[in-house]
Amino acid sequence: MTDIHRSRLAQARPQPWRNGGGSTRELLAWPQVQAWQVRVSVARIDADGPFSAFPGVDRWFAVLAGAGVVLALPEGQRRLLPASRPLAFDGALAPGCTLVDGPTDDLNLMVRRGIGQAEMWRAEPGASIDGATRWRAVYAAGPVAVDIDFRTETLAAGDLLWSDSDDPEPWLVHGTGPAFCLAVR
């Protein structure tokens, strides 16, 4: 049976950025806060400015709410909207970020290099995360349910359901709200 853990955005305290451009609410720092290998957070971007650099980290980014952002990456500018696919980039980069039209809320997955291949994708109805993972999670931007080991876990908007168990059974995501699957293989 899979050991399941849940983090709730409503219980995560916002931490203001040093540059004053926004705040971050950390949902998970695994396996421990001071020496994390996987970090999941929701950021509120209030002003244009560069991202922080995280050398040695692979980073995934998705817009949850707001009009979106334009990121200045070495290969060119990327416009990301709430309907866009999550974007992966080298965490050592500190891309410039320009808001399209006002503040945005964004989902971030950061994984230290060497522990596995990180992935984040939009969970369309019927999406699944197979069991061949080192770590896996579902972030609910709206109400969804996840079938795990013959039971159903119901997630409210802002819930992160995760596990580092090696259970081979897949997770099946269904429901009305947008959601994201996250995995480290």
Question: Nearest-CA neighbor of 161 among 140, 132, 183, 134?
Answer: 140
pLDDT at res. 19: 81
Tokens of 156: 């409210």
Could you say which of 96, 112, 128 is where a domain stops? 112
Question: What are the C-alpha distances in Å from 88 to residues 8, 34, 49, 107, 146?
Answer: 24, 24, 19, 12, 24
Residue 67: DSSP 8-state:
S
Range of the domain at 37: 7-112
pLDDT at res. 1: 52
Report the number of distinct structural domains present in the chain.
Answer: 2
DSSP 158-177: TEEEEE-----SPEEEEESS
Residue 150: DSSP 8-state:
T
Tell me: do 97 and 12 sit in the same domain: yes
Is 86 inside a domain boundary? yes
Tell me: do 171 and 85 sit in the same domain: no
Residue 9: DSSP 8-state:
G
Tell me: do 88 and 139 sit in the same domain: no
Tokens of 41: 């957070």
Tell me: do 103 and 165 sit in the same domain: no
Tell me: do 31 and 92 sit in the same domain: yes
Tell me: do 68 and 146 sit in the same domain: no
Model-level pTM?
0.95
Is 2 inside a domain boundary? no
Tell me: do 142 and 172 sit in the same domain: yes
Is 1 inside a domain boundary? no
Cis ω for the linkage preceding 74 (within 30 of 0): no
Per-residue pLDDT of the chain (185 residues; tens, 9 = 90+): 568 999 999 999 999 988 889 999 999 999 988 899 999 999 999 999 999 999 999 999 999 999 999 999 999 999 999 999 999 999 999 999 999 999 999 999 999 999 999 999 999 888 899 888 999 999 999 999 999 988 999 999 999 999 998 888 899 999 888 999 999 99
Tell me: do 107 and 30 sit in the same domain: yes
CATH label of the domain that carries residue 179: 2.60.120.10
Tell me: do 105 and 152 sit in the same domain: no
pLDDT at res. 62: 98
pLDDT at res. 167: 81
* Helix boundaries (H) for the chain: none
